[in-house]
Structure 1
Amino acid sequence: MTALVGREAEQRVLAALVDGVRASGLRTGSERPAVVLVGEAGTGKTALLGVLEGYAAAVGVRTLGADGCRAESEVPFAALSQLLLPAADLIDELPAHPRAAVTDAVLGGEEAVAPGALHLGVLQLLRRAARRDPVVLVVDDADRLDRESLRALVFVSRRLGPADRIGMVLAGRGDGRVLPGDASLPTVELGPLDDASAALLLDRRPAAPTGAARRDVLRAAAGNPLAIEVLADAGSPLPVELPRRAEALFDAAVRDLPDPVSRLLVVAVAGGGEPVATIQAAAGVPATALGCWGPAEREGLVVVEGATVTFRHPLVRSTVWGLASAEERRRAHLALAAAGDDPELVALHRAEACLTRDEDVAAELAGVAHDAAERGDHRAAAGVWRRAAECSPHPAARLERLRQALGASYAAGDADGVAEQHEAIRAETDDPTVLVFTTLLAAAALMLHGRQREAVRRLQEVVPLIGATTAAGASLLASFLCLAADSSGVPEQRSAADAVMALPAVREAVRRVLADADAPADLMWARATVYDRGEAADLLDRMLVAGRAGPDATANDLQNLGFVADRADDVRRAVELFARAHDRMHHEGPAAFGVPILAALLVEHGRWSAADQVIARWTELAHTRGMHRVAAELAAPRATLAALRGAPDRAHDLVAEARRRIDLADNRLVDLRLRSAAALAAMVDGDRAQAYRQLRAAFTAAGEPLHPGVSPRLVAALAAAASGPGERRDAAMVADRVRTALGTRTSPRLRLLLHHADALVGEEQQAEHHFRLALADPTGQDWPVERATVRLHYGEWLRRRRRPLEAREMLTAALEAFDELGAVALAERVRAELRAAGSAGPKETEREADPLADLTPQQREIVRLAAAGLRNREIADRLFLSPRTVGSHLHHAYPKLGISGRHQLAAVLRAPSSG
């Protein structure tokens, strides 16, 4: 079947029915080969029937169709005639009495039709048709069929048996009883699409709206496929004109309402969530007169329950709004402003009714925007600031409010919103400093979304303003160009950044900024330009001594210091700084560049539960806000964890999905991180050749690091993946080039990695010397996976040299580390090596001391919470996981604990040996 977005399960049901009819006797979910599709208008019933008909034709099943029509619902046998007319040539084969009844019903005879004879004749006619080809009856809008046709279909549906090659699918609106008198047929209810499917359907529309308009359309459509398409094409959640097919749904019902009810509905649309009492007051109706809603309720347009009124269908709102005049819509907002008691909503209604620029209205909106930002609702704040700017009569105030809108859009992670505000600001002013600083935010938003080339283009547009702006502006502009070039890895972008950095005005600006110990621009400069590990370490120490990470430090400042710490390979400080920035991001906006780095550092540092939480929170936020680069980069630590935990297939899927999300030719830094994760998954799979290909792409043909920060950290993994003399020589050459590129001042971590690489692919007589040096520095414990991997390879090397006692000691230490981390894949490899070295690993008595010893760290945490009585959803909320993931972990934990269900967990943890 052709895939309909979000309707995969329903399509499987219909395909199974067709396959069952074709196979004559194979049934799905019921002995009766019939299905009823039920859903509100626009949920996709007709589209599903179209897909069904196409599939049936493709597999040799004939379809007979009919459509219900309100105008023909009082015409006897109207639908039956439409349905059976293609098989009319078989009517003459029927016995005399049923033949006469079917002829009169289908072909319009003059005799009165006897129901019993007709129903029997229809069944016999269909059975004769099915002797030629299997038949499926497809009836749309079955809730609008004439009564006589419905009765005949009920009769047929109740008598179809396994031997008949006949199926029936009926679709209609309602509560599942589109066939009066028979509610026993299996029913498939079409509800709204889930969020992901709704977003996908919207994005497939030509010229689909973006940014705030996209979110407004999705919210207004509420998952209804027809509403998504109509509102997307209109580009507005409340278009004043609907296409004919959508207008026909509710136009007549709305037009037929009495004037007071129509006015009430217009106010309800304008109210958008206001209490019923406020809506009625604004419409001039007493608060207790709920009967005023009766005509609209009886037409199925609204539901009034408690203090709220809900439109039954998203397009009812659009129909009501489109039928109202502009003056009626304006009066509705004014009436709501007069009747309301919420200052924010009053201000918004006044603004909607404002036809000219009005500073009083703009000032009210500014207060609303401030309050929204204070509570962390940056998206709402951005929209209100935009409207405040539109209402502002004074150019200076208008410009300031546009800048506020841009900042709020950036804080909300809305790159399209940032672009819109940036264009508005460029049309409003030619002030160099304003243009430079707003362009920096616009470029930052584009970078978050993986649009590096566009970011560089925007930045280059304001390069001519460097001499006219402040020192901080010039320094930040050069820094952002470096960051974009760093992320993209595209040579021409690196050249563009170098050219700007060489400008005398930029060199002077940087000198002045770096001389000011309190200038935020120096943190960005350090983050963008310092790659020497020794220089980064010295700079970090100076900044920390100067108090730059104090209690008043912003999230951005902490994050920039975190980048410097990461460049220095100071993982403890980097994690602390990024974590502090992460904790403040809810209040200071998503300075999300550092989030993937934080997640990767937590994985490398062995804090996997914390990494899971960061990944879960920010993956969802990145998808919601369209930050494609952040989502793609987060896939790297996520895939790394999956591979380490023994799920390489899942890791490959995550990498493949991330590669589809952004243009990796424009995001080579992300590409390298994904290659590292893919290489690890390949190693777990035993595919060293694939792993080597992935990792080798991090270096030039001559072995030089492609990226000064990421590439050197992959040198040991490249050496481990090398197989055969040619690859070993190549990996040794890469290690030499990396050592040369790093210079004399490197970090303990890179010394560990280089010694590890030399031990694997260097001179054989020096291998043990390098293994020992790789393990010598105690700071290596900050990277437990890398340190344990050195022990694994050292143990393997010792075993091959017939030194089993030493090999077992080294391998046992590696196993303990991998087990503690939950690195299932590597732990199993160590156990295999231990068996080959004559040991089964740690003694069973040691493992029996803790009943949770065989669980991964995350499984232990989930088990303890479940034993304490928390439900899966509560555990999921606490650990930033999905309830399904929690259930999966528990399902896999039960056999390891020797129990069969949740009710036994408390007893396991109460055991004296559990500690």
Structure 2
Amino acid sequence: MTEFDARGAAAAGEEIDPGGSEPAAAVIGREAEVDRILRSLDVRDGLPQALLLLGEAGTGKSRLLRVAAETAERRRTRVLPAQGWGSEEPQAFSTLHQLLLPVLGAIDALPEHQRRALRTAFGPAPEAGPPEIQALGAAVLTLLGHLAQACPVLLTVDDLQDCDRASMRVLFFVTRRLTNQAVTVLFTARGEAPPAGVPADLPVLSLGPLSDRASALLLDAQPGAPEGRARLDLLRQAEGNPLAVVELSRAAYGASGPATAGADPRQTARIQQMFAARLGELPEETQRALLYAAASSKEDELVTVMAALGAHDLAVWVRAEEADLITIADGRLAFRNPLIRTAAFHRYAAKLRQQVHRDLAAARGQVPARRAWHLAAAAIGPDEAVATALEEAATQAAQTGDCFASAKALEQAARFSAGVHDRARRLAGALAAASDVGDPEWVRDLYERFTRVNRDPELLCIAACAMSGALSLLSFQREAFDLLLDVWQRTPPSRATTSFALAAVATGISRRSGLPEHRLPLPRLLDHAVRAAQAEKDRCAQQDGFFHELSGPEVLASLEAAVSVGIDPAVRGGSDALRRLTAPPSEPLDGARRLTRLLATASVAHHVDESELCAESYRQAGALRGTRGTLGPRAWTLAAEVDTLVSIGRWAEAEAVIEEGRSAAAVHRLTRVGMDLEALEVTLRALRGETMPDIPFTGPHWRSVSLDENRSTHARMLRACGLTAMVLGDGDRAFRHLRALFGEDGSPLDPFLSPRSISELAAAAQRIGRQQEAARILGDVRERQGARPTTRMTLLMHHAAALVNEDADPEHHFRLALVNPEAEKWPLERARARLHYAIWLRRRRRPLDARVQLTAVLEVAARLDARHLAASARGELRATGVAQAPASADRLAELTAQQQQIARLAANGLSNREIGERLFLSPRTVGSHLYNVYPKLGVSSRHQLRDLLYDR
């Protein structure tokens, strides 16, 4: 439809397609729903199908209906569409006429009385009365059955709530009586509950808000989508409504982004037009009340809004509630669609909107933080009083862990600052808070404004930490490190907290880049920070200002340990540092200081392979982090956290962290973080033994990022590819990928990750006869680990030596890889060593000894759900002479308990998302499980799965 038609339809209450005409945007965030809808089109068994799509305006119901229609047409299904129109609701059978108009020529094949019923309904003769519903329903049923003999038929009815009742009674009559006809009926309706008259047994698919990740991906599909803080504002304002994401992006196109209550007024005409008719029908006092509600925020209570409005009776809201524009519950008012808020606010002139904000600021019971925001919305030009109020609001938000609100308040405070120094100071604070939020584009924008006004060297170091961190998250490791080092060399910080913060950021960048030139300056940065701390201690200086949460001897000592071990765990005494970090603190640590110590502990534990302590420290740190949507320091630790959870066999937790992290990475457009998590997801799938239908690491972000300066990401990708090739039985490709973890001279691509893949490289090398090459790399790894390698590295090197060191006694190394009870901390690595030991024993004609090892392998494989490992162990057991277990009459017995649960729920008709909500899994994880369940059960669809389970 044209833009004029779209606006007119929206004004009439219709739903506008939030996905546009782009196929990529059609199903973003609705993959599970599309799967459920398309399954309803499967009429190969002649089973009747009917489904009602239910959701608020803008949730994408109409688009999903079109996806179903387009798919049906490609399957050579006849599609008969109808659209509900409020203006036609009084006209009986108008919807039915829309549906059957294209096939009225086929009524000649019907019996005379049924032809007469249809003709009377669609054009009654003067002497004829309205047909009976049952007679007309029987005629429609016969007509559809006749059409279905030639090809399947799909009926789609959009906006059921606006259809005439007579047509609906006929259609519900028909859907209840479809028996073996190849006919599907899809309805959509607006709201949270089915319209009156809908049969209780009609299946319902509710469309809720999009996930944060899906909303971000939908926003990315829009032309000229805003970035930085404007992007985060938009996503929060849209509340997961697809139409709101699209329209707010259009409104913000070319502007600085959404303002406090919406986008720039000059660019919201389209949104205003969508709801002009519905808002214009309200009484004047209700329209005015909605203006106050729109100017308020979710934090403003209804009593505060009514105090600003000067109203004392809830009657002012009644018409708006009846029109489904708002809901009132628990003392708060909410708009049913985020776009209604924008339309209700921008319908009025700027002067009146300014007065509304002043009234809200002065309202009785208004909290200081919200008062500051309303004063800012009403202010024009610099106003130090407003800036001070916003800065106080930022402090309060920071204390509650809301880094986003804190950064946004400081950014606005800088805008209203009268003095240049205050503006720079507040921008530096906004930079630090935005860095904790984890949004690089926002940090970049703030940094550009900061550098134009700043004259303070200490503030420059603080800002450089934030900007370098942002560049690192964006994958620009060389630029990030150069910026930090340049600032440090030109204006080294004088405060210990700033010095340690700078050294910590530099160490983090170095670890992600893997570049040798980045490790060289780190000792100087650390030494400078230690001297600054000692100087402050000698002067008994008090810490204040920025990074005050890092002050105190305990916290600075924690940072020193983390940076020191990050530079070189072997040389800097990681085990000693860990003992100091786990000792009881000499002073109480509040939330921020305790979080810093926990993250330092986790970092050191990760480097020295104290995996259980590392995982526990990350878990406790996660409980102390800020509000939803704040990623901050976790963006730097997500990959290490997943690495640790995978290594100790807590794979379900690892999947949850991956899912959460990928969502945050999509929201904040953290390219490198998303790449790390994608590589870890592929790794985990390979460890489970899942084969992937597509080739990983082919997306545009993998082509846009330089892996040379993101070597930790490159190492994770190579390991994932190598393990995937092993599962597929491609030894050559597995060795090629794992061999690339080391240079020609044996130097590791990543100093931490590469050595921990040495046993996997050895297994691949043994498979294709490249033991000598792997043995040379093993020797280099052993030399680099020093005289006191970690327990984990010791076990891995013994395992590798048993496989490729031809001059050593393999059994001696196998025993050393298994005898240490601490090996149980890394169950998969120990199980692999047992498997390879069993293979060696079998080839030495010691089958009984091999069976002992293989039995232990099977137990671990079952516990971890490592199917490829289990299959290898079962194959070796057969080779040792153990008869294969008889085929179980219960094919479900081959599945894990979780897979059995998922299979049963899927057979009952639940979508992947519904299953995930019950089992606390992501829809992607559920789909992955089903992808592997089907071949085990010998089925290829949910219909077959249902038949299999119902036959039991």
| TM-score category of the 2 structures, normalised to the smaller one | 0.7 to 0.9
Q: Mean alpha-carbon deviation: is it higher for 566-575 or for 47-56?
A: 566-575
Structure 2 counterpart of 1:731, from 753, 767, 774:
774
SS at match of 1:388: helix
Aligned to 2:372: 347
Contact 2:326 2:335 in 1 (8 A): yes
Closer, same or farther: CA 692–551 of 1 in aligned 2, 3 Å? farther
Aligned to 1:205: 222
- 2:736 matched to 1:693? yes
| 1:361-372 correspondence to structure 2 within 5 Å | 361-372=386-397
Q: What amino acid is the match of 1:460?
A: D
Aligned to 2:633: 591
| 1:292-371 correspondence to structure 2 within 5 Å | 292-305=316-329, 307-343=331-367, 344-371=369-396
- 2:465 matched to 1:440? yes
| 1:356-435 correspondence to structure 2 within 5 Å | 356-435=381-460
Aligned to 1:26: 46
Q: Distance in 2 between matches of 1:811 and 1:776?
A: 16
Aligned to 1:225: 242
Closer, same or farther: CA 277–515 of 1 in aligned 2, 3 Å? closer
| Number of corresponding residues | 836
Q: What amino acid is the match of 1:220?
A: Q
What displacement does 1:823 show?
Answer: 7.2
SS at match of 1:115: coil
Q: Distance in 2 between matches of 1:97 and 1:619?
A: 61
Closer, same or farther: CA 260–667 of 1 in aligned 2, 3 Å? same
Cα displacement string for residues 264-322 of structure 1 (whole angstroms, at most 9, x for unaligned residues): 11111122343333322221222xx2222233233332233452333233322222112
Contact 2:503 2:529 in 1 (8 A): no
Q: What amino acid is the match of 2:241?
A: N
What displacement does 1:370 show?
Answer: 1.7
Closer, same or farther: CA 653–335 of 1 in aligned 2, 3 Å? farther
Q: What amino acid is the match of 1:526?
A: S
Q: Distance in 2 between matches of 1:213 and 1:681?
A: 40
SS at match of 1:57: helix
Aligned to 2:309: 283
Cα displacement string for residues 505-544 of structure 1 (whole angstroms, at most 9, x for unaligned residues): 989968966987977785575355326x244459848987
Q: Distance in 1 between matches of 2:638 and 2:366?
A: 37
Closer, same or farther: CA 430–71 of 1 in aligned 2, 3 Å? same
| 1:124-143 correspondence to structure 2 within 5 Å | 136-143=154-161
Closer, same or farther: CA 384–836 of 1 in aligned 2, 3 Å? same
Contact 1:42 1:225 in 2 (8 A): yes
Q: Distance in 1 between matches of 2:655 and 2:279?
A: 51
Aligned to 2:475: 452
Contact 2:469 2:480 in 1 (8 A): no
What displacement does 1:57 show?
Answer: 3.1
Contact 1:549 1:558 in 2 (8 A): no
Structure 2 counterpart of 1:722, from 747, 765, 770:
765
Cα displacement string for residues 738-762 of structure 1 (whole angstroms, at most 9, x for unaligned residues): 3455566655544443343232212
* Alignment root-mean-square deviation, CA: 5.4
Aligned to 2:749: 706
Q: What amino acid is the match of 2:411?
A: R
Closer, same or farther: CA 814–154 of 1 in aligned 2, 3 Å? closer
Aligned to 2:715: 672
What displacement does 1:709 show?
Answer: 2.2
Contact 2:271 2:342 in 1 (8 A): no
Cα displacement string for residues 52-102 of structure 1 (whole angstroms, at most 9, x for unaligned residues): 432343333444444444445556776666555555667889999998997
Aligned to 1:186: 202
Q: Distance in 2 between matches of 1:431 and 1:817?
A: 59
Q: Mean alpha-carbon deviation: is it higher for 272-281 or for 505-514?
A: 505-514
Cα displacement string for residues 546-594 of structure 1 (whole angstroms, at most 9, x for unaligned residues): 9999865664466456545654556687678767766655599853234
Cα displacement string for residues 616-661 of structure 1 (whole angstroms, at most 9, x for unaligned residues): 87677666666564565466777767766xx3218x6999589888
| 1:798-877 correspondence to structure 2 within 5 Å | 798-802=841-845
| 1:221-300 correspondence to structure 2 within 5 Å | 221-235=238-252, 236=258, 238-239=262-263, 240=265, 246-273=271-298, 274-286=300-312, 289-300=313-324
Contact 2:756 2:796 in 1 (8 A): yes
- 2:672 matched to 1:649? no
Contact 1:536 1:567 in 2 (8 A): no
Aligned to 2:67: 51
For structure 2, list consecutive stretches of 5 or more residues without a partner in the other structure: 1-21, 253-257, 538-552, 884-893, 900-915, 930-952
Q: What amino acid is the match of 1:649?
A: E
Closer, same or farther: CA 499–709 of 1 in aligned 2, 3 Å? closer
SS at match of 2:770: helix
Aligned to 1:756: 799
Q: Distance in 2 between matches of 1:52 and 1:161?
A: 20
Q: Distance in 2 between matches of 1:567 and 1:727?
A: 30
| 1:28-107 correspondence to structure 2 within 5 Å | 28-29=48-49, 36-73=52-89, 86=102
SS at match of 1:226: helix
Aligned to 1:5: 28
Contact 2:425 2:459 in 1 (8 A): no
SS at match of 1:303: strand
Q: Mean alpha-carbon deviation: is it higher for 347-356 or for 733-742?
A: 733-742
SS at match of 1:722: helix
SS at match of 2:334: strand
Closer, same or farther: CA 113–296 of 1 in aligned 2, 3 Å? farther
What displacement does 1:673 show?
Answer: 3.2
Q: What amino acid is the match of 1:51?
A: V
What displacement does 1:421 show?
Answer: 2.6
Q: What amino acid is the match of 1:487?
A: R
SS at match of 2:76: coil
Aligned to 1:526: 564
Q: Which has the higher Rg, Structure 1 or Structure 2? A: 1
What displacement does 1:715 show?
Answer: 1.9
Q: Distance in 2 between matches of 1:623 and 1:368?
A: 28
Q: What amino acid is the match of 2:63?
A: A
For structure 1, list consecutive stretches of 5 or more residues without a partner in the other structure: 841-853, 860-875, 890-915
Contact 2:847 2:880 in 1 (8 A): yes
What displacement does 1:728 show?
Answer: 1.7
Q: Distance in 2 between matches of 1:746 and 1:46?
A: 61
Q: Distance in 1 between matches of 2:42 and 2:686?
A: 39
Q: Mean alpha-carbon deviation: is it higher for 701-710 or for 711-720?
A: 701-710
Contact 1:97 1:117 in 2 (8 A): no
SS at match of 2:222: coil
What displacement does 1:323 show?
Answer: 0.9
Q: Mean alpha-carbon deviation: is it higher for 2-11 or for 731-740?
A: 2-11
Question: Larger RCO: Structure 1 or Structure 2 (Cα < 8 Å, ≥ 6 residues apart)?
Answer: 2
| 1:527-676 correspondence to structure 2 within 5 Å | 527=565, 529-530=567-568, 533-537=570-574, 540=577, 555-556=595-596, 559-560=599-600, 563=603, 566-567=606-607, 585=625, 590-592=632-634, 593-601=636-644, 604=647, 629-630=672-673, 633=676, 647-649=688-690, 656=696, 663=705, 665=707, 667-676=710-719
SS at match of 2:131: helix
